Amino acid sequence: MEAQAHRDQEEARINQTLALKIDLKQQQHFPKKLEQVETKENDSSPPLHEVETILHYKFKNKHLLEKAFTHSTYCGENSLSYERLEYVGDAVLNLLISKEQFFLYPNLQPGHLTRLRAVNVDAEKLARAAVKHGLHRYLRHKKPLLGEQIQEFTKAIAEYPLHSNGLIDAPKNLADIVESTIGAVFIYCNFSIDIVWKVFGKLLEPIIDPDTVQKHPVTELHEMCQKKNLNLQFIDLWKESMSVNVLINKKFVGRGIYGSKKEIAHNRAAKDALENFERVLGISTSTNKDALELED
Amino acid sequence: MEAQAHRDQEEARINQTLALKIDLKQQQHFPKKLEQVETKENDSSPPLHEVETILHYKFKNKHLLEKAFTHSTYCGENSLSYERLEYVGDAVLNLLISKEQFFLYPNLQPGHLTRLRAVNVDAEKLARAAVKHGLHRYLRHKKPLLGEQIQEFTKAIAEYPLHSNGLIDAPKNLADIVESTIGAVFIYCNFSIDIVWKVFGKLLEPIIDPDTVQKHPVTELHEMCQKKNLNLQFIDLWKESMSVNVLINKKFVGRGIYGSKKEIAHNRAAKDALENFERVLGISTSTNKDALELED
């Protein structure tokens, strides 16, 4: 009630004071097809003003926008690249998601809010938004492998419509440019978090909510073994075979393999163990469905 | 230049639009003496409206303010306690410090900004602000040991005028109420981060800056050993003797003892090792002074 009153007041205030020309009705801007996704390793990125069309937000002075899309490998100087904007944008996004969720879920306790925020601001979530809206095409960089990594990521997310929860590797640079662009808009619009949310709230859809959020597989496996009083071990064979094994009460229950990051092999091992749990151990997993439990 | 223009604009905007009655000239409100510091474990906390005098900020509806100072042990219900406000306040503070530092230190890279932000928002820093301004006296709780912990903390900080960098144990609840109060003001004032900063910027002084920040002793010791190609080991004897030992190239160089938290024993061991480094190992520590290096 009180929360609703606050939201109404806020809404009214935004609508009165926003001098921003955002036509939300037109906000349907996606890259043509995933096959066409590519990044340039040279100067021939498409013109940056197209980003303004994607954002429905105009920078009269393009300086901040240019910075937001410039990786240090491109300009050779940290003072001209996006890192500092990314740092600020990260904090802005964190606040925006916290604020939204505080009012949307008045009975959700901080532990659950924290998980819900984490999956909405992590590298995978932001990289997905970058690819979905084609923002990666404007990143100016000289990282020879990045184009390929983006291609791989784009294929990988097709398997996980919402979020993989740690099972795929998101190119950090894609998440970075979403954060740096948030930072750029925040500074350019004179620090209005309302304007930033108007610009990026839609861009980050679908926002993961208490119904769609999933536990991280490693957390879920730990909790499951604790509840059922089972001994859980992760066996790190990453150096030898790019793999991590899971033993529960000394029984082999799952394996994860991933070459370029041990953490992902670890997460995949947990996921595999969860899938094999009932079959291998003969123990029901009936309690593992609860995503976020509301209070009361 | 551009940053300065933004700051000027912002300043003008705040001064025009703030309907807030803050008389900054009067902002000198401290508890009388440290010996008088105490918290109540019952209903007899001093009246909460005094907090408004400390903050120089008035809540017409006291509901949020009350919540901000209510621990779940007091009300027995999570829905009436400060945890959710604290969650939001934490994100607000993080953004505010990020934003301030972004403009104050235009050449500082994210790695250094991160450390600088961390020491300005961590539990010790916020607990110090709570005690300095006497906010802890208004916390309503039923934690029998908290009063004593606050007394100990108050004595401990006297040894470290600015920040101990991990050597003392800050009662988390003290930091919590600073964050929950930030959350309460943020919501009450309709989400203006400018107003929150007006209220809390002064309260959090002295803000730690690149000249006064210190490396965390564990980081410093790791870096030192890496630079000088020395083998560093922490030997965990906490269960046996509440202590952690440091060996460098198999030589005993330092020990940390702390009963109630292993992490602090660990940090103290690193600090001790740094102090004994030259004497025990006969190797100069000349490179360990650099706090935060500015770019260029």
B57 and B152 housed in the same domain: yes
Q: Is residue B250 part of a domain?
A: yes
Q: What is the pLDDT of residue A58?
A: 96
Residue A208 lies in a domain: no
Is residue A131 domain-shared with residue A253, that is, in the same domain?
no
Q: Are residues B22 and B108 in the same domain?
A: yes
CB of B10 within 8 Å of a chain A CB? The answer is: yes
Same domain, A239 and A109: no
Q: Which residue has the higher pLDDT, B234 or B292?
A: B234
> Tens digit of pLDDT for each residue in B177-205?
999 999 999 999 999 999 999 999 999 99
Q: Does A118 touch chain B (CB under 8 A)?
A: no
Tell how strand B232-237 and strand A251-257 pair up: unpaired
**pLDDT in single tens digits along all 296 residues of chain A:** 445 555 545 444 444 444 343 333 333 333 333 333 444 444 567 999 999 999 999 999 999 999 999 999 998 877 889 999 999 999 999 999 999 999 999 999 999 999 999 999 999 999 999 999 999 999 999 999 999 999 999 999 999 999 999 999 999 999 999 999 999 999 999 999 999 999 999 999 999 999 999 999 999 999 999 999 999 999 999 999 999 999 999 999 999 999 989 999 999 999 999 999 999 999 998 764 444 444 43
Give the pLDDT score at A79.
80
Name chain A contacts of B295, Cβ cutoff 8 Å.
78-79
Answer yes or no: do A87 and B98 touch at CB < 8 A: yes
pLDDT at B16 > cutoff 60: no
CATH of the domain at B234: 3.30.160.20
Q: Residue B44 has what pLDDT?
A: 67
Look at residue A173 and tell me if it is in a domain.
yes
Size of interface A-B (CB pairs under 8 A): 79
**Is B42 part of a structural domain of the chain?**
yes
Total domains in the fold of chain B:
2
Burial class (CB in 10 A: 0-12, 13-18, 19+), B1: exposed
Q: Are residues A27 and A100 in the same domain?
A: yes
Q: Is the pLDDT of residue B40 over 70?
A: no
Nearest CA in chain A to B80: A107
Report the CATH number at residue B181.
1.10.1520.10
Of A180, A179, A203, A199, the C-alpha closest to A189 is A199
Task: Indicate the DSSP class of residue A61.
Answer: S
The domain in which residue A116 lies consists of 2-203
What mean pLDDT is predicted for residues B204-208?
97
Domain boundary among A145, A178, A203: A203
Confidence label for B42 from pLDDT (cuts 50, 70 and 90): very low
Distance CA B214, CA B231 (A): 23
Per-window interface: B 86-105 vs A, CB < 8 A: 86-88, 90-92, 94-95, 98-99, 102
**Backbone phi, then psi, for B253, in 5-degree steps?**
-120, -25
Q: Are residues B149 and B12 in the same domain?
A: yes
For residues B140 and B21, state if they share a domain.
yes
Return the bridge partners of B243, or none. Answer: B237, B257
Q: What is the pLDDT of residue A16?
A: 41
Instruction: Answer yes or no: do A110 and B86 touch at CB < 8 A.
Output: yes
Task: Please report whether residue B122 resides in a domain.
Answer: yes
Decide which of A203, A237, A260 is a domain's last residue.
A203
pLDDT score, position B29:
35
CA-based nearest residue in chain A for residue B90:
A95
Question: Which tokens go with B221?
Answer: 């010791």
Question: Does residue A17 sit in the same domain as residue A43?
Answer: yes
Residue B139 domain-assigned?
A: yes
Tell whether B22 and B144 lie within a shared domain: yes
DSSP strands (E only) in chain A = 232-237, 243-248, 251-257
Cβ-Cβ contacts under 8 Å for A224 (sequence gap 6 or more): A230, A274, A277, A285, A287, A288
Do A148 and A249 belong together in one domain? no
Q: ipTM beyond 0.90? A: no
Q: What's the rounded mean pLDDT across residues B235-246?
A: 96
Q: Which residue, B203, B236, B266, sits at the end of a domain?
A: B203
Residues A69 and A180 in one domain: yes
Nearest to A79 among B99, B191, B295 (CB): B295
Looking at the structure, do residues A173 and A260 belong to the same domain, yes or no? Answer: no
Question: Taking a C-beta distance cutoff of 8 angstroms, is the pair B177, B203 a contact?
Answer: no
pLDDT over threshold 60, residue B216: yes
3-class DSSP state of A82: coil
